[in-house]
Amino acid sequence: MSKEFKYIGKSVPRVDAVGKVTGQTRFITDEYLDRMIYAYPFYSDIPFGKITAIDISPAASQPGFLGVLSASDIPGQNQVGVIIEDQPLFADPLVRFIGDSIGIVVAETESAARQAARLVNIQYEEFNPIFSINDSKAATGNFIHDSNVACQHQVDKGDINTGFAAADQIIEADFKTQFQEHYYLEPQGCIAIPEENGGITIHGSIQCIYYVQKAVARVLGIPQSVVKVIQTPIGGAFGGKEDIPSELCARAALAAVKFNRPVKMVYNRRDDVQLTSKRHPFQIHFKVGVSNAGKLLAAHIRLEENSGAYATLSTVVSYRSSIHAMGPYVIPNIKVRSTAYYTNLPTTGAFRGFGSPQATFGHERMMDIIADHLGIDPVELRLKNVLRPGDLTQTAQKLEVSVGAEETITSVRDRSSWNSLRQNNQNDRRYLTGIGIAASHYGNCLGAAGWALDGAGVKIQIRRDGSVGLAYGLADMGQGALTVITQMAADALGINSQRISVLAPNTDLVPDSGPGVASRNVVMTGNAIRDAAAKLEPILKTAAAEMLGTDAESIKIENDLIFVDDVKKSDFNILADYLFVGNSQMDMLGWWHVPALEYDPVKGIGEAYFTYSYATHVAKVRVDRLTGLVFVDKIWAAHDIGKAINPAGLEGQVEGGTTQGIGWALTEQFKFDRGRVLTDNLSTYLLPTIADVGEVETILVENPEPLGPWGAKGIGEPAIIPTAAAIANAVSHAIGVQMNEIPLTPEKVLDAIEGRTH
């Protein structure tokens, strides 16, 4: 890794910055097509029941009304469940949450479609709804699906009874985390265009173009090869555009086929919040046996998730939270059960971290409670147990390289002056101050449970004029992927980054590269770039050698120049033309697939992920004694990302993730009234503002992962994972009460300070 690169490792400005700052970037709402019509869903306004009648006559009398489509209009399968096949595209006859779409209205204008959708009159036979995990568990009949359990994953390593018997202390605690709404700036939207061959072209704000391709083909009953999905610029997603676009696009596509016209569907904010998925609320029980010296000996962990009405990505959340349940620590004996329960609420699905922030809230609060019990400093307790090279994870996976957990802990400890701040509270009459730490790990990419989908490609096209097109299959949803891809490709090929144009993801361009999720982009696309560049290298060098009358071994391509034995002889423009006239291959598919993982899904033992990112956050907080308001003065965020491809971009990710973590910890309180969302706009759902976010200091720990591109690992999700736990630990430290449930609203904090319990 000692080689100096021209782009990799540099804080190259974002390639998409100008378009986004000037407003030139065209999002899906900016697009209008000739003869385009509009669709809008109408949906259940009861949480659970059975449709008995649908009266469309009030809608049909609206000017511009074209028609209504519902379950009976589907030519293929009425099914959009992404992993478990439990979710109809249109409810029929059961409705399972307020927001369960029953059909769409199609109209000549967007306002007519929305207006008419509100006028469709549905009659129901109502059932008793279930909203909580506990009610869902307790139900003995009237199940939401065949049973109320959406899915379960488990880990069983060693023997917890032996572990507990050997322990000096056994400590138990319960934790709770809340819903979180993605609140991407751009709501869900797409346009579906019918094609002459019976196919469909979809444009939309879509994380996972291949998921949409599959869903649309299935619903319409047409081959995947005639479904083309093109990603428009994404105005934020955070996982919220993983599965939901499949519903949206399949509905729009259905209308496009029926009316043989392009169909646009964009949710308004209120419906976007009511209809789309959220972060799973968890309730968590920990029972941990430790030695007096602070060694973790055994843990029995129960994670329970509110899945909402359909499973969507619950299996991923349940799997991931089970694997990460005890955090980045060595523990010989562990039993984990992570179970998602159906309720009559909107679905919970993919959200930055996929259950890891929740699991981390559990294990990191637990570590502080243990530290408190044992009278050991929280940093010390973590360092006694933290995973180091050669250690086994909780799934008995041996970690060999790129294990930067310890360094993330010690670096935030040192940078934050932990020891002095922890021991010397700077309380005054108004504020109680505290400092808290939380460490986490994050399995990169899809892991053993998603292995089959865990390949991704790029296509590099060298043009005769020396310009280069690069197609990839994942998503830039704001995280800066385009910039990092450009950096990696430029250095991989030895050319100027200005030569490279990254094409919008399009199912026609690159083979199915799986979903644009799980912090996969840098690792997967980067490795595919390495693969393509490695395949191109001999072609380029052979041609250059032929052109310059030498042998390929003496050729070096760097900085846009062609060197023979380190003497500049030509440039890439000339080489590109030479490649063309000499019939050299100029179009190269690069591909990378996560290596085979040995994993036993029954016991939850083995190689759960091929590598892990590590992060530790320290939060310094002030708690207002009078109001219970918590101010996060500073977060020190250390991240082992293997190798920083773009340090400024990484800082941006960490600051963004931390901010979202602050929101989840403190301000974002998602509320329902019997299944109806009450917090469906920014006046009621409080995203953190700049006033809520103090300083964030990012510390990049580079512990190269040999299987990562140039050593890099993922950052997208790790950025949010430890924040809330660090804040809760800091608040607990400040007020001297273990705060085991987020969000830490002023009321809750004030009650804790004043000794009231709920």
> How are beta strands 431-443 and 612-624 bridged, if at all?
antiparallel
CB of 62 to a copy of itself, least distance (A): 24
CB of 226 to a copy of itself, least distance (A): 5
End-to-end CA gap in the chain: 54
Residue in the block written with tokens 């400024």: 648
CB of 470 to a copy of itself, least distance (A): 8
Q: Which is nearer to a copy of itself, 174 or 508 (CB)?
A: 508
User: 524-533: b or e for each residue (b if 16 or more CB lie within 10 Å)?
Assistant: bbbbbbbbbb
**Listed ranges 453-461, 486-494, 677-685, 700-708: which one lies at the site for a copy of itself (CB under 8 A):** 453-461
Does residue 159 interact with a copy of itself by CB under 8 A? Answer: no
**Listed ranges 376-384, 506-514, 536-544, 602-610: which one lies at the site for a copy of itself (CB under 8 A):** 506-514
121/54 Cα distance (integer angstroms): 6
Q: Which is nearer to a copy of itself, 452 or 690 (CB)?
A: 452
Q: Which is nearer to a copy of itself, 84 or 392 (CB)?
A: 84
Does residue 196 interact with a copy of itself by CB under 8 A? Answer: yes
Binding mask 577-596 for a copy of itself (x = CB under 8 A): ---xxxx-xxx-x-x-x---
Strands, E, within 389-525: which ranges?
Answer: 431-443, 455-462, 468-472, 500-502
Q: Which is nearer to a copy of itself, 154 or 501 (CB)?
A: 501
Strands, E, within 489-578: which ranges?
Answer: 500-502, 555-558, 561-564, 567-571
How far lies 148's CA from each of 140, 540, 586, in Å?
A: 9, 58, 54
**Listed ranges 112-120, 210-218, 416-424, 727-735: which one lies at the site for a copy of itself (CB under 8 A):** 210-218
CA dihedral 293, 296, 301, 307 (to 10 degrees): 110
Q: 1, 17, 21, 33: which one contacts a copy of itself (CB under 8 A)?
A: 33
Q: Which is nearer to a copy of itself, 390 or 582 (CB)?
A: 582
Amino acid at 247: E
Does residue 405 interact with a copy of itself by CB under 8 A? Answer: no
**Listed ranges 144-152, 220-228, 344-352, 671-679: which one lies at the site for a copy of itself (CB under 8 A):** 220-228
On whether the CB atoms of residues 683 and 671 are closer than 8 A, the answer is no
85/218 Cα distance (integer angstroms): 12
At CA 310, angle to CA 306 and CA 313, rounded to 5? 75
CB of 239 to a copy of itself, least distance (A): 23
Looking at residue 627, the DSSP 8-state letter turns out to be: T
Q: 55, 172, 414, 508: which one contacts a copy of itself (CB under 8 A)?
A: 508
Q: Which is nearer to a copy of itself, 581 or 690 (CB)?
A: 581
641/718 Cα distance (integer angstroms): 9
Nearest to 523 by CA among 583, 595, 452: 595
Looking at residue 590, the DSSP 8-state letter turns out to be: E
Residue 755, SS3 per DSSP: coil
Q: 501, 550, 559, 679: which one contacts a copy of itself (CB under 8 A)?
A: 501
Nearest to 696 by CA among 741, 635, 753, 647: 635
Q: Which is nearer to a copy of itself, 17 or 138 (CB)?
A: 17
Binding mask 512-531 for a copy of itself (x = CB under 8 A): x-------------------
CA dihedral 513, 518, 522, 526 (to 10 degrees): -30
Does residue 199 interact with a copy of itself by CB under 8 A? Answer: yes
Q: Which is nearer to a copy of itself, 169 or 224 (CB)?
A: 224
Does residue 23 interact with a copy of itself by CB under 8 A? Answer: no
Q: Give phi and psi for 414, each to the nearest 5.
A: -70, -45
486/489 Cα distance (integer angstroms): 5
How far lies 374's CA from each of 168, 292, 378, 381, 506, in Å?
A: 10, 6, 10, 9, 55
Strand partners, 668: none
Q: Which is nearer to a copy of itself, 195 or 428 (CB)?
A: 195
583/103 Cα distance (integer angstroms): 54
CB of 65 to a copy of itself, least distance (A): 23
Does residue 722 interact with a copy of itself by CB under 8 A? Answer: no
CB of 559 to a copy of itself, least distance (A): 18
Residue 694, SS3 per DSSP: strand
Q: Quickly count: other Cβ atoms within 10 Å of residue 540's Cβ.
A: 26
CB of 204 to a copy of itself, least distance (A): 16
Q: 13, 19, 63, 93: which one contacts a copy of itself (CB under 8 A)?
A: 19
Q: 11, 128, 197, 268: which one contacts a copy of itself (CB under 8 A)?
A: 197
CB of 572 to a copy of itself, least distance (A): 12
Q: 5, 31, 391, 694: which one contacts a copy of itself (CB under 8 A)?
A: 31
Binding mask 286-315 for a copy of itself (x = CB under 8 A): ------------------------------
Q: Quickly count: other Cβ atoms within 10 Å of residue 745's Cβ.
A: 19
Does residue 109 interact with a copy of itself by CB under 8 A? Answer: no
Q: Give the residues lining the site for a copy of itself (CB under 8 A).
A: 19, 24-26, 31-35, 196-197, 199, 213-214, 217, 223-226, 452, 455, 457, 461, 463-469, 471, 499-501, 503, 506, 508-512, 580-583, 585-587, 589, 591, 593
